[in-house]
Structure 1
Amino acid sequence: MSELAADGIPVTVSLRVLKLSRQPYYRWRHQQVTQAELTEAYRANALLDAHVDDPEYGYRFLLGEAAEAGEEMCQRTAWSICRDNQWFSVFGKKRGKNGKRPGPPVHDDLVKRDFSADDVNELWLTDITEHRTA
């Protein structure tokens, strides 16, 4: 904006073309870094220092180290900062495999996929939708 204004283009015209509001622009220009962003940066710096010292610690232990350094925060805040910056413990949890192959069928297919019956009580079937599954 300041470059366009130096070239003689009014700020109001530039804001209108860019579809930006005037008041938030001037608020941002007055204070480009908010207090909340500054606090989060200090907290992230304390967590990073603790993570570099002990990379095997998870966010709960990093929280204690940051509190000793003077940056108090709740667990959820520490978790979100660590997650956003991908600071994880070097010892991860074992995860189950999601792509498991199905095992052999539990029962033999006696119907052989032929669902027609010649007489009453000769063939009984059920619908799987009766049973709740995940």
Structure 2
Amino acid sequence: MAAVTRGGAVDGVIFHTDRGSEYTAARFQAACRHWGVIQSMGRAGCALDNAAAESFNFTLKVEFVHRHRFATRDEARVKITTWITDFYNTRRRHSATDGLFLIDYEHRIMAARAATTTRPREATAA
């Protein structure tokens, strides 16, 4: 989804997961390599490795899912995706990003990364 919404520009993005079989599967790993996504997995038996993901899941459930009824799984999928892309990432402030919207934080990180990779090398004395 990140690759599609960003026109494929996700090279270097980190995708953190647990060690579920869907994330360790060769097909998923090949997709990550194709898009230039860096895989990160939590250690076995260490719940703190997934704290950010668990925090997101809690917020999603409390702020959206438990406040709505969905007629079908497809409806739930569309409405949850819309909430994430149109509200959570763009209009909800986050303490982990010093109160920035996630999209603004991402743009800052990408600009800083671009500035460090495009900076010309200084000439060295011979």
TM-score, normalised with respect to structure 1: 0.25
Q: What TM-score comes out, normalization by structure 2 length?
A: 0.26
Larger radius of gyration: 1
Give 1 or 2: higher helix fraction: 2
Higher strand fraction (1 or 2): 2
